[in-house]
Structure 1
Amino acid sequence: MGKVDAFSINGLRLGFHSADHPPPHFHVKKLGAWEIRVFIETTQEKSLDFNVIFSRKEPTSAEKTKIAALVVAYQEELLQEWETKVAYRSGF
């Protein structure tokens, strides 16, 4: 998994899967607790657009708010990283 370079959050792993699929997104993991897929283009400052990959617990409201604010602040950089780090293959 290619690390997100635009920003980091203590206690969380942020990364791109190298052969992933659209829409542009990245994965956030809290070890032993949860993993979510965060959608870059549709996240808003106070509304994190995500789905759960794995969950023993849900991300807290504070965690979701922090991630959403950073995604909005670094949206352009995240989209550039998606283009560079993700080799989407359509199967054709």
Structure 2
Amino acid sequence: MPGRGRLPGGHPGAGAAAGAGARVRHRGAGYLAALDEGYRSLPEFGSFVVVDADTDAAAVRAALDAVLAPTLRGVKKGPLYNARR
């Protein structure tokens, strides 16, 4: 199937992401409440950052770069970092 396993813009993983979304939509409210409670109970939860991925790939990449820049400052970037830019 063309496009299977690709995110918009040619990124791998759309098939898995779409399948995961379909599975979550079919879960009951109890499952979703437990999932929410689990994430909120993580010690790091307060530092989680929401990145809007409902836009074009360049905007998502820019948002992720902005969020990760302070953490990655001074880290040498490998050849894959620029492979899809």
TM-score > 0.5, shorter chain as reference: no
- Which gives a bigger RCO, structure 1 or 2 (Cα 8 Å, sep 6+)? 1
More helix per residue: 2
More strand per residue: 1
TM-score range, shorter chain: under 0.3
